[in-house]
């Protein structure tokens, strides 16, 4: 808002300056008048002093002015005022139309007063008019009438009154009007809209719409619509990350590969002298939460170059061609600020295989992908702009995107191994007070398969629990509870089971634990609880002693028996199984079907992969994809899956009958303590009876069995073992098939 005092001061300053300039021009022309000479003689200030004073006034006026030197207003245009002005004009037009067509001069009165006027003959009535539809009676009186409102207050005297009536009073009003004896009679009017009113009703909305279009047209011409084709502001503005490789832990191999990329950016001439070309693109792939974005920021932070971070889904909008335009816009900006790094997150949103689309949205995605391929091919080799992309699904990317010359390097960023998890926990434990005696390596052993983001969340949950419990530092029980919350969900303290349900849950979880202890290829049981947590009534936790990179057939068969342990315990003890084993049956069925259809572990089906191709669009849409085997083979697959599950069920039954005494002891301990840890479990399992080893599996009975053993493992000297441990500490890979961290009883 403008300040009247400031505006007055500015006007006065300008007036004095103009007056001074005018006097100066007259003095230079030699046309001074006598009054001017006398004023100058009276004023003690010299001409130079007056000039300095006027100059200061001018500078002050210019300082408070809202005009730019080019004469344009420096204040931003306020579209709100324009909108208000348009609305005000429309309201004025509507008000004028209302007053133009509204009958004037009539004072509304109560219905009771109107009926009295019609009934009393002493009140002289000039004429009466009844309007149909609106149910209004208008009366012209010979003398003024003073109406009263519902509260009894008097109104202004008037000779023209009107009142309304309801449909039930229509007959009475009609009778009163006909007997009112008005001097000029009465008239009934059926309201009809005039031609001008009809025209305005039709034209006024069009005028309003036209006004809105005229208001929007200048903005469209100024390029507002062109913003659809530009990358959003967050993606266009470069960032200067302060993250370095020192902030990255548990991914040493990926860091080693990316350090060379940072060298390419910092010292490109060193590589060009050897004839090496700078990689144009780097693809980081791996499960979610493993630190792909952090690695990309670390490269830019180490090199100190602009960093453009954008999600691939931001390229695609509802308008065709927008994605390709945004790709061009992003690469143009990056080339201007080269050397630079462009990071495209979730590139599979636009980088999927082409030619398999099912609609116009896919055509737009393909146009965006084509433009991305062209931009990466059209890079100047000396532009020094590197594209880093991240995805969880490298198998669905278009082959043209992965060829050399585009994404030259493909770096796996897997879940960290044991030492990687320990290093990640050390990074995220900084700034969090830990109680004495807490070993992060022990926590790393209890979290197999955890990604970096999950480990960070675990420590954050522990810090929140410690704060809630008013601990001065994070205690061991805080970490235990945090691990349970991350794996199985928060504990449901208000969920109270009755005695029978609690006993069945104890036997169910005890069945899983006994099966794991009796089998030969399972991981040790570390915890059993019957406290409800998340969606489970209890759970059994088994932890691998080391990271695994593959799983044998016997280990998979033991997982099937382990999954059936809870159901078998219910059958043996209660002879009436519950629905709590539904999740176990689902997991066992998935494992058995993968053994037959993916892993080639069925003698009847053979070493054939029969699962649908992930690149099939029907598979991605949940349609199951096209089945590439016959109905006869499908029946064989079902029979083999059923046979695996039935065999596992029988093995679980046999070992549970042999270890019934251990099962009863474990169930009794669970009913008493609700949670049993590894040391107590080891004491209970001292009397466990192990299952015998399975017979050697043959992929075909016609193949001869070899009795030759494998070669012995090499003997590693202590110094070499230490060197091997140090080398494995820098290994960022993890198990492709980690053993399950826990089992839920739903």
| Residues belonging to the active site | 509
Say if residue 286 carries a ligand binding annotation.
Answer: yes
Q: Rg for the chain (alpha carbons), in Å?
A: 44
293 marked as part of a ligand binding site: yes
471 is in an annotated binding site: no
Q: Is 584 annotated as a binding residue?
A: yes
Q: What's the rounded Cα separation, in Å, for the pair 543 and 550?
A: 16
Helix (H, G, I), strand (E, B) or coil at 554: helix
* CA-closest candidate to residue 364, choices 312, 405, 402: 312
Residue found by looking up tokens 């133009």 in the block: 100
* Secondary structure (DSSP) of 665-719: HHHHHHHHHSEEEHHHHHHHGGGPPPPPPPPPP-S-TTSPPP-PPPPPPPPPPHH
Do the annotations mark residue 647 as ligand-binding?
no
Which run of H or E residues covers position 125? strand 125-131
What six digits make up the tokens of 560? 């099937």
Token pair 């030759």 in the structure block, residue? 708
- 352 beta partners: 397
Q: What is the DSSP string of 144-176?
A: EE--B-TT--B---EEEEEEE--GGGHHHHHHH
718 φ/ψ angles, rounded to the nearest 5 degrees:
-55, -40
Contact partners, residue 347, CB within 8 Å, separation at least 6:
283, 312, 389, 390, 391, 397, 401
Vertex 245 angle, CA 242 and 249, to 5°: 120
Which two structure tokens, joined as six digits, stand for 259? Answer: 């350090």
Query: Of the candidates 377, 306, 394, 317, which has an alpha carbon nearest to the alpha carbon of residue 343?
Result: 306
Distance CA 53, CA 654 (A): 109
Torsion from C-alpha of 491, 492, 498, 501, nearest 10 degrees: -60
Dihedral angle at the C-alpha atoms of 396, 397, 400, 404, nearest 10 degrees? -120
Could you tell me which of 284, 392, 404 has the C-alpha nearest to residue 614? 392
Report whether 327 contacts 374 (CB < 8 A). Answer: no
Containing 339, the helix (H) or strand (E) segment is none
> ∠ CA(566), CA(570), CA(576), 5° rounding?
140
Instruction: State yes or no: 289 annotated in a binding site.
Output: yes
Q: Identify the residue whose tokens are 């055509």.
A: 363
Tokens of 342: 């462009």
Beta-sheet pairing, 186-189 with 409-412: unpaired
Is 291 assigned a ligand-binding role in the annotation?
A: yes
- Listed as own residue / partner, the contacts of 7-11 with beta carbons closer than 8 Å and 24 or more positions apart are 9/64, 10/61, 10/64, 10/65
745: which strand partners? 538
Q: Flag whether 508 is marked binding.
A: yes
Q: Are 477 and 437 in contact (CB under 8 A)?
A: no
Annotated binding site for Zn(2+), which residues?
A: 508, 512, 584
Annotated binding site for ATP, which residues?
A: 286-293
Annotated binding site, which residues?
A: 286-293, 508, 512, 584
């Amino acid at each position: 808002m403008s300040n009247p005092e400031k505006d007055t001061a500015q006007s006065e300053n300008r007036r004095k300056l103009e007056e001074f300039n005018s006097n100066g021009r007259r003095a230079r022309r030699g046309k001074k008048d006598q009054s001017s000479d006398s004023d100058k003689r009276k004023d003690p200030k010299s001409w130079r002093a007056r000039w300095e004073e006027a100059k200061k006034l001018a500078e002050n006026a210019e300082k408070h002015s809202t005009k730019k030197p080019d004469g344009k207003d420096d204040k931003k245009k306020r579209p709100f005022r324009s909108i208000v002005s348009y609305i005000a004009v429309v309201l004025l037009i509507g008000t004028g139309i209302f007053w133009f067509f509204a009958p004037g001069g009539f004072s509304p009165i109560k219905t009771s007063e109107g009926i009295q006027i019609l009934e009393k003959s002493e009140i002289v009535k000039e004429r009466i008019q009844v309007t149909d539809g609106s149910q209004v009676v208008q009366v012209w009186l010979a003398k003024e009438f003073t109406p009263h409102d519902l509260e009894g207050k008097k109104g202004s005297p008037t000779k023209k009154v009107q009142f309304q009536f309801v449909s039930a009073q229509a007959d009475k009003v009609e009778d009163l009007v006909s007997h009112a004896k008005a001097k000029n009679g009465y008239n009934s009017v059926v309201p009809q809209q005039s031609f001008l009113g009809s025209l305005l009703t039709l034209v006024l909305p069009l005028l309003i719409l036209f006004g809105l279009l005229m208001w929007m047209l200048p903005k469209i011409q100024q390029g507002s619509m062109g913003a659809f084709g530009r990358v959003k502001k967050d993606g266009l503005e470069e960032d200067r990350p302060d993250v370095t490789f020192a902030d990255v832990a548990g991914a040493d191999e990926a860091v080693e590969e990316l350090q060379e990329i940072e060298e390419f950016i910092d010292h490109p001439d060193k590589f060009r002298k050897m004839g090496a070309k700078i990689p144009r693109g780097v693809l980081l792939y791996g499960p979610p939460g493993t630190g792909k974005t952090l690695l990309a920021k670390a490269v830019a932070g180490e090199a100190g170059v602009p960093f453009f971070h954008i999600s691939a889904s931001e390229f695609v909008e509802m308008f065709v061609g927008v994605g390709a335009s945004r790709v061009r816009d992003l690469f143009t900006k990056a080339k201007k600020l080269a050397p630079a790094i462009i990071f495209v997150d979730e590139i599979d949103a636009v980088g999927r295989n082409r030619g398999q689309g099912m609609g116009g949205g896919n055509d737009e995605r393909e146009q965006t992908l084509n433009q991305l391929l062209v931009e990466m091919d059209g890079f100047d080799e000396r532009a020094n702009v590197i594209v880093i992309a991240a995805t969880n699904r490298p198998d669905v990317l278009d082959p043209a995107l992965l060829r050399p010359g585009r994404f030259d390097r493909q770096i796996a960023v897997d879940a960290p191994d044991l030492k990687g998890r320990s290093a990640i926990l050390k990074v995220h434990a900084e700034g969090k007070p830990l109680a004495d005696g807490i070993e992060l390596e022990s926590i790393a052993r209890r979290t197999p398969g955890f990604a970096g983001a999950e480990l960070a969340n675990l420590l954050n949950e522990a810090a929140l629990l410690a704060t809630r419990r008013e601990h001065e530092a994070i205690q061991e029980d805080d970490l235990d509870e945090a691990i349970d919350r991350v794996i199985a969900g928060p504990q449901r303290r208000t969920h109270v089971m009755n005695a029978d349900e609690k006993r069945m849950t104890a036997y169910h979880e005890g069945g899983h634990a006994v099966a794991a202890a009796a089998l030969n290829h399972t991981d040790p049981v570390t915890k059993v609880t019957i406290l409800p947590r998340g969606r489970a009534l209890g759970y059994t936790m088994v932890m691998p002693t080391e990271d695994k990179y593959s799983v044998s057939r016997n280990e998979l068969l033991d997982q099937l028996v382990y999954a059936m342990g809870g159901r078998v315990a219910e059958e043996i003890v209660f002879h009436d199984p519950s629905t709590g084993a539904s999740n176990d049956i689902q997991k066992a069925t998935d494992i058995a079907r993968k053994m037959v259809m993916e892993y080639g572990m069925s003698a009847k089906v053979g070493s054939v992969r029969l699962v649908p191709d992930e690149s099939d669009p029907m598979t991605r849409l949940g349609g199951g994809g096209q089945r590439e085997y016959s109905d006869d083979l499908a029946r064989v697959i079902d029979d083999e899956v059923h046979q695996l599950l039935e065999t596992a069920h029988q093995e679980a039954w046999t070992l549970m009958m042999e270890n019934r005494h251990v099962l009863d002891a474990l169930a009794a301990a669970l009913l008493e303590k609700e949670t049993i840890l590894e040391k107590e479990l080891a004491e209970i399992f001292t009397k466990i009876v192990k299952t015998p080893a399975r017979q050697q599996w043959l992929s075909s009975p016609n193949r001869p069995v070899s009795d030759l053993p494998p070669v012995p493992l090499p003997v590693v000297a202590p110094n070499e073992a230490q060197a091997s441990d140090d080398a494995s500490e820098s290994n960022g890979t993890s198990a492709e098939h980690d053993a399950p961290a826990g089992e839920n009883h739903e």
